[in-house]
Every structure is written in structure tokens, then in C-alpha cells.
Amino acid sequence: MQNKVSLPVIKRLPKYYRYLSDMHKNGVVKVSSSELAKIMGTTASQVRQDFNCFGGFGQQGIGYHVDVLLREITNLLFSEKKLDTILIGTGRLGRAISGYLTAEAKGYQLIAAFDKNPEEIGRQLSGVDILDIADLESFCKEHHPEVAVLCIPRQSAQELAPSLVALGIKGYWNFSHYDLSVVYDGITVENVHLGDSLISLGYRVRNN
């Protein structure tokens, strides 16, 4: 059933997870689809449809048990096995993101960082070695990372993408402006455009 779940539903799951974690922490025992809908900014029908993608999680009319719902969604979203992850680009953004990844993010294990700058290579970043990007292939063939975090410019990402995909990397947390998912099939990409969100914000602040 899970491979039929649509991307918008998947994108809402972390939000359900956050809200249900808060409720559970605050001792809330039951919650109706309309209460959840209100918090989520959607409709009760949408909430029920979302949960039906995963088999339901509860009975309509009597509400959901917060602990059951939270456990089910936690099981969906997290696995005991962490995803082996490499970070590419150890500039200012890469350093920032590596810190976030190792300190705040569940489910990922940073195993190496890569850069092409000789001054960076050989240093440590968030507890891992910074390796030469020229050694990417041999590293991947030995360690089989599943996820790559791209903190490099658009052009570099475009040049590197064929190798990364060919080396079997399935997941991309992509801070570059090159969207791999447009060109490559069978991979999963989460694009984060920090710059775009700042540009939109500035426009809206000036024009509101």
C-alpha cells in the first residue's frame, strides 16, 4: 500500500508527527479528524483520506487515540537503521548544514564530507573527515552511502549528478539550485532553496 502514497501526503506526515508529539507531551489522549484538520490547516476529510493511505489508524466517529496515531506515524517515518550520508561542499553552508544534520536530525549518519578545495581536504567536519571529491567513487564503492547532502553551486551539482546517481546514491538533500529529480529517475530529492525563500520574503515584506 505504501508505494501508492502520494507526495503531498508524505510531505504532511512530518507535520502530523510534530503536532501529535506535542499533544502526547501535553497529555492529550484523543483527537478527532476535525481537530487535527484545524491544526493542520486542512479539512477533516483530508485528514481521514491521508490516514486511509496507511490503513486508517482509527475509527471514524470516535476519534483517534493520540498514542496509537503517534506510534504508527513514528513507525512510518523513522527506522532504527540510520541512513549512511555524505555531505558534498564544506563551505559556509555545508558547515552549517553538517552541524544541523549531526546534532538535530534523527535517522541520518554522516559518514564523510567531500570538497575539491585542497585547504579543506584532510580537515574534520562535524566529526567526519573531509575527503577529496576525486575519491568519491572509491569511497562510495566501499561504503555505499544512501544519501548525499549537496551544498555546492548549481554548476557543480549538475556536473557531479551523473556520478552520484551511477554510484547508487538514492536520496538527495539538495541545497544547490540544480534539481536532479528533473533529469534522473529512481532517486528521491528534497530541494531546499534557502535563497528563494529569502527573496520571496523580501518581496512580500516590501509589497504587503
Q: Which residues bind a copy of itself (CB under 8 A)?
A: 2-3, 5, 10-11, 13-15, 17-18, 22, 41, 76-79, 83, 92-93, 95-97, 99-101, 103-108, 146-147, 154, 170-173, 177, 182, 186, 188, 190, 192-208
> How far apart are CB 187 and a copy of itself at their closest, in Å?
8
Whether 202 has a binding-site annotation, put simply, is: no
> How far apart are CB 116 and a copy of itself at their closest, in Å?
19
Q: How far is residue 136's CA from residue 150's CA, in Å, rounded to a whole number?
A: 13
Whether 20 has a binding-site annotation, put simply, is: no
The CA–CA distances, whole Å, from 82 to 73, 97, 108, 157, 196 equal 17, 18, 5, 25, 30
Whether 63 has a binding-site annotation, put simply, is: no
Whether 13 has a binding-site annotation, put simply, is: no
> How far apart are CB 6 and a copy of itself at their closest, in Å?
11
User: 186 φ, ψ to 5°?
Assistant: 75, 10
Beta carbon nearer to a copy of itself, 135 or 190: 190
| Contacts of 202 by beta carbon, 8 Å cutoff, 6+ apart | none
